[in-house]
Amino acid sequence: MKSARPEEEEKERYSMEKISTSFELYGKEYRLETGELAKQATGAVLVTQGETTCLVTAVVSKEQKDYDFFPLTVDFIEKMYAVGRIPGGYLKREAKPSDKGTLTARMIDRPIRPGFADGFKQEVHVVATTLACDGQNPPDCICVGGASAALLCGGTPFDGPAACVRIARDKETGEFIVNPTYAEQENSDLELTIAGTRDYISMVEAGAEEVTEEDMLAAMEFGQQAIAAFCEKQAEFLAMVAPEPKEYPVHAADPCIAERVNAHFDEMSAALKDADKLSRMGKVEELKASIKENDFSEEEREAWKSDIAAACKALEKQAMRAMVIETGERADGRSADEIRPLYIRPGYLPRVHGSGLFQRGQTQALSVCTLGLLNEAQRLDTIDPQESKRYMHQYNFPPYCTGEVGRMGAPKRREIGHGALAERAILPILPSEDEFPYAIRVVSEILESNGSSSMASTCGSTLALMDAGVPIKAPVSGIAMGLIKEGDDVVILSDIQGLEDFLGDMDFKVCGTANGITALQMDNKAKGLSTEILGRALQQAKEGRAHILSAMLGEIAEPRAELRDTAPRIETIHIPVEKIREVIGKGGETIRGIQDSTGASIEIQEDGTVHIAAVEQEAGRAARAAVEAIVKEPEVGEIYEGQVVGIQTFGAFVKLTPSKDGLLHISRVANGRVGQVEDVLNVGDTVKVEVIEIDPKSGKISLDRLDKPEAPEGSAPAPARAPRGEGRRERSDRRPGRANREANSGDGRTPRRRH
């Protein structure tokens, strides 16, 4: 018989010591824990800010993959139980990630990816799961630190610690706030998310209300200091954990591969010097194919397949960077700060509410604007407090835009990210709901792509909004900046194309108006990137944005004064809150009837604000008149043409408004004595009346008929009722059985009485 293990051994087998630390930074409470949850993962950390708690796990595969890229996957899982809600929809289960969830996964991925060593080819999977959200502290930034800690706790070859912070700026005091609550962010004119290590910045995202370049740079410098503080706290936690570094193989290619490939440096440099993207790509691919065919045997090609591909890619990168550093000339012949040729056409499409075609070099975006009622805003089912958004920007990147074959389907992470960046850039310049009570959707179709398609989308969207007549506060333009850094040699590139994005060190997108920045996004591969270099890039971007904006304003100087004929016109009126139910009617019957009869759309808000939308102005006016008629309170002296809806012996009831009737007394239906109301009026007749009295207590309305007819001859009063007690015998005689009883009463018998 098998003996039972001692209780202590069982605990040791299935658990390990929980290690945790709590700390305060910049007025917020944080906590890091490991050792209790998800112990079969390579590394797992529970990270908390306030009461917002996320579990971040990292798993490294046991075998290497023969890829020419680093196979890192990051997933952010929003659990609705974290905010005490049941998911919407039929399944009542979390399904595909929300757009916000996808953006958060990208936000965790981007600062972590550069921290792994070149040649590390084992798959890494990072999963961040929201366990509890307090509705005050967002979970995204702490998940970056949690991912870094999980990787390091697992002993992976990751260059950390890394951290991420969000920087806000109080509108009133101008003070910077680190990792603001949702409420603190509401009172901020800046939302800067910045990630990196103690030594360098790897990722930046920002939305701002036309913040100057100098203020943005100051926020970045402050953010870098905050990142260093969080990295220090993470290092203290890791010292408590004391993880054992694990031996992971880092793949190194045979040196002879690079020697043979690099012998073709001059040929690669020549192939790259072509302004046309497809032509250049054709020449480069032809050269790569020639190298593989002529410099390697069939056995070597089979054995070194991914290594040869990586060496050819490295040669292309080396040749492109050397061209820029040594000659100052780019692959398409431009100088470092030169913008590609622009082609701009607002109002490109007929019938749509607004459109704009924006082309920069071989990147082309067609943006289309659609206007709708506020109730058409997008409802959000996420763990964030935001329940809906009125402005929706969507970005599509079909395979044909790069001359490729592919499958069309749901938007990928990149498309969601680019759409979110353009949306963030436009949001600060949109009019308020009170000024412009519309839901706004802009769709950017990328028709050609050779770099900076998200910035073309931003510019095209500005054109579409202005063409639609949306009274934006200021037009927005955008530009993508690049960086080539070799040692101390640094070249900042304006308006980068795809080649410079893939093979360069930085992709820095900046959007804004003539007054300041509204959005930016940066991914960095150069570990020596300083705020001084970022400052130079921001200034060069400002000059490029101004050039592009000037060209846009040359085609459309301001938003059009009128909406397109195909766009709905929205009128706004306010009704008393207590009248909302009357306008809606039982089961929505009244409001549906108005919409069906007029063709207009009606939206009623809780405060009594009513938005009436119709393409045809006459339909809008009719719907407005119908709503106003329902809520109208008659006043003495007002004249109405109403329908007779009821008749009594004392008069007729006339409908003045859908919810109000008045009494037209019999003495006022005609000139002269009228015996019965029906001699003059019938139900359904239309009569013109004037309000002569309103009872202040009961609200009953008395009417007088205008243009009274003469009383008809022979109109006599209705027969008078018999006095009480008279005629009872006659009436009783008609009751069943009574006639026989009374007939028999003459025989001297007394009728029976019932007791």
Are the C-beta atoms of residues 260 and 304 closer than 8 Å to each other? no
Pure H helices in 616-717: 617-631
Distance CA 392, CA 234 (A): 38
The CA–CA distances, whole Å, from 620 to 106, 247, 598 equal 45, 73, 8
Dihedral over alpha carbons 470, 474, 477, 482 (to 10 degrees): -140
Angle between helix 305-327 and 255-262 (nearest 10): 50
The helix-helix angle for 255-262 and 277-295 (nearest 10°) equals 130
Question: 89 Cβ partners below 8 Å, 6+ apart?
Answer: 95, 381
Could you tell me the two tokens for 571?
Answer: 């009128």
Q: Is 507 annotated as a binding residue?
A: yes
User: Residue 108: which of 68, 168, 137, 151 has the closest Cα?
Assistant: 151
The three-class DSSP label of residue 575 is coil
Place of tokens 């910035």: 455
Q: In what order do the strands lie in the sheet with 609-614?
A: 569-574, 609-614, 601-604
**CA 455/CA 284 separation, integer angstroms:** 27
Distance CA(420)–CA(624), nearest Å, equals: 37
Contact 574, 609 (CB under 8 A): yes
**Distance between CA atoms of residues 106 and 75, nearest Å:** 8
Distance, in Å, from the CA atom of 198 to the CA atom of 638, rounded to the nearest integer, reads 77
Alpha helices (H) along 91-204: 99-112, 140-153, 182-186
Phi, psi of 720 (to 5 degrees): -75, 150
Annotated binding residues for Mg(2+), written as ranges, equal: 501, 507
